Amino acid sequence: MKSMLTAATLLLVLLPAAAPAAAADAPFTPAASGNAFGLDLYTSLRAEGQNLFFSPASIAYALAMTGLGARGATAAEMDEVLHLPADDAVVAAGFGGLMGEVARRNGAVTVSLANRLYGQRGTPFAPDFLALLERHFGAGLEQVDYRRDAEAARQRINGWVEDQTAQKIRELLGPGTVDMATELVLVNAVYFLGKWVEPFPKHATVDAPFHRERDGDVTTKFMRTTGHFGYAEQDGVQIASLPYRGGTMEMVVILPAVGTPLAMVEAQLDADRLAAWLEAPVPTQVAVTLPRLHLETSFELADALAALGMPTAFTDRADFTGMTTDATPLSISKVLHKAYLDVDEEGTEAAAATAVVMERLSAVMPGQEKTFRADRPFILAIRHTASGAILFLGRVADPARR
């Protein structure tokens, strides 16, 4: 992503389907690229019998900012993994435009995306690099002193993340994650708070068994309601979309047919099929049963990202010379991510944050009522309906496990 052009106006046609970065005939849309990257990461991180929840959007924003300072093979690998074109101006404008569309507070739902840089005081960061991030990502540079007081810098960064996520993401940077060798930390935070259009009646919530694929059933609280929701049946799965007030966000739940392991569905899942499933639901009378959920996860993503195809960024061969004016030798030392999800009868609260730590090298359709009972492992996505951008993605294998 390394052609440092002047900023150009980018018309965003935000489609949910994703295409590889190499497909020159396909227009770049940040939602599609982020969704494709998110599914790649989902496949890499998922483990049979385990829950998973993370924010593809948060990780994509943090890495896209980082990639704007990459050059050579480092840049090419990051572009490929993130499904991005090679033009910095197009990438920056695209992500900036998506932020403007998604991150709006309208009283009915809260969606916020925030970015910030924490750089070593005295390091000559490149003006063009900083200007691109400030203009399109809203990522201002705050100078800190990792060399004299790395702990104070760590607490400063963590405090900003907590403020941006309503205190839901704490200690994104654990003790020792930044030190005297740290030059720059690029941070993204995502926060979502939404109420269901049709809340689940609290009196209808009951204890019932969730049929795990391992270790037998577990008893958990299930919310129940009947109403008009988006619904579809395709490729051996049921799909239900549950809208939030305001009409801009929804949760989509993808439920395998009874007797079909979630891993079998995941094995056939690619970006095109996921996009088709997300768009498939149509208004239908549905009896919905969904478990209450509370998940908190954390990841160190360096190994997963290297395995996806961007190993050079984490080595002494990394080229991030676009970040500074003196060609300071930098590499990524850590990519840290935390996510939070709480789903109840009223709605959903979700948050996530990502830090990239850089170090110096040394309408209703008629018909029969459908039943959608999510009492077995399933996939969920929280997405922006107009753009198709998936803000959060995960799998629920055991709702009793946190």
SS (H, E, C) 51-105: CEEECHHHHHHHHHHHHCCCCHHHHHHHHHHHCCCCCHHHHHHHHHHHHHHHCCE
Residue-wise pLDDT for 148-168, tens only, equals 999 999 999 999 999 999 999
Rounded distance between C-alpha atoms, residue 136 and residue 1, angstroms: 15
Token pair belonging to 202? 């609290």
Question: Where residue 280 falls among pLDDT bands split at 50, 70, 90?
Answer: very high
Residue-wise pLDDT for 34-49, tens only, equals 999 999 999 999 987 7
Rounded distance between C-alpha atoms, residue 209 and residue 207, angstroms: 7
Token pair belonging to 299? 């990841």
pLDDT of residue 215: 83
Percentage of the chain modeled with pLDDT above 70: 91
Count CB neighbours of 247 within 10 A. Answer: 13
Question: Where residue 26 falls among pLDDT bands split at 50, 70, 90?
Answer: low
pLDDT of residue 367: 61
Q: Look at residue 157 and give its three-state secondary structure.
A: helix
pLDDT of residue 108: 84
CA-based torsion, 77, 79, 85, 88: positive or negative:
negative
pLDDT of residue 24: 44
User: Amino acid identity of 284?
Assistant: T
Percentage of the chain modeled with pLDDT above 90: 81
pLDDT of residue 23: 41
> pLDDT higher for 319 or 105?
319
Question: Where residue 170 falls among pLDDT bands split at 50, 70, 90?
Answer: very high
pLDDT of residue 77: 98
Q: What is the CA radius of gyration of the chain?
A: 21
Residue-wise pLDDT for 53-69, tens only, equals 999 999 999 999 999 99
| pTM (global) more than 0.95 | no
pLDDT of residue 55: 97
Rounded distance between C-alpha atoms, residue 151 and residue 148, angstroms: 9
Tell me the CB-side half-sphere exposure of residue 358, using CA atoms within 13 A: 29
Please state the rounded mean pLDDT for residues 162-187: 97
Please state the rounded mean pLDDT for residues 93-112: 88
CATH of domain 30-194+295-360: 3.30.497.10
The CA-based dihedral angle spanning residues 343, 49, 172, 383, taken in that order and rounded to the nearest 10 degrees:
-50
Residue-wise pLDDT for 361-400, tens only, equals 874 445 677 888 999 998 899 999 889 999 989 999 999 8
Question: Where residue 4 falls among pLDDT bands split at 50, 70, 90?
Answer: very low
Residue 2 near residue 92, CB atoms below 8 Å: no
Question: Where residue 5 falls among pLDDT bands split at 50, 70, 90?
Answer: very low
Q: Which one, of 91, 79, 49, lies nearest residue 266 by Cα?
A: 49
What are residue 147's phi and psi, to 5 degrees?
A: -70, -40
Rounded distance between C-alpha atoms, residue 12 and residue 380, angstroms: 26
Residue 103 near residue 36, CB atoms below 8 Å: no
CA angle, 328 then 333 then 338, to 5°: 135
pLDDT of residue 400: 83
Residue 306 near residue 105, CB atoms below 8 Å: no
Q: Which one, of 199, 195, 16, 198, lies nearest residue 110 by Cα?
A: 195
Residue 30 pLDDT > 70: yes
Give the CATH architecture of domain 197-293+364-396.
Roll (2.30)
pLDDT of residue 366: 53
Rounded distance between C-alpha atoms, residue 232 and residue 236, angstroms: 11
Question: Where residue 327 falls among pLDDT bands split at 50, 70, 90?
Answer: confident
CA 52 to chain CA mean position, Å = 12
Pairing of strands 217-234, 237-243: antiparallel
pLDDT of residue 107: 73
What are the residues facing 355 on neighbouring strands?
A: 187, 336
pLDDT of residue 2: 40
The ranges of the chain annotated as CATH 2.30.39.10 are 197-293+364-396
pLDDT of residue 9: 22
CA 382 to chain CA mean position, Å = 9
Residue 6 pLDDT > 60: no
The ranges of the chain annotated as CATH 3.30.497.10 are 30-194+295-360
pLDDT of residue 402: 66
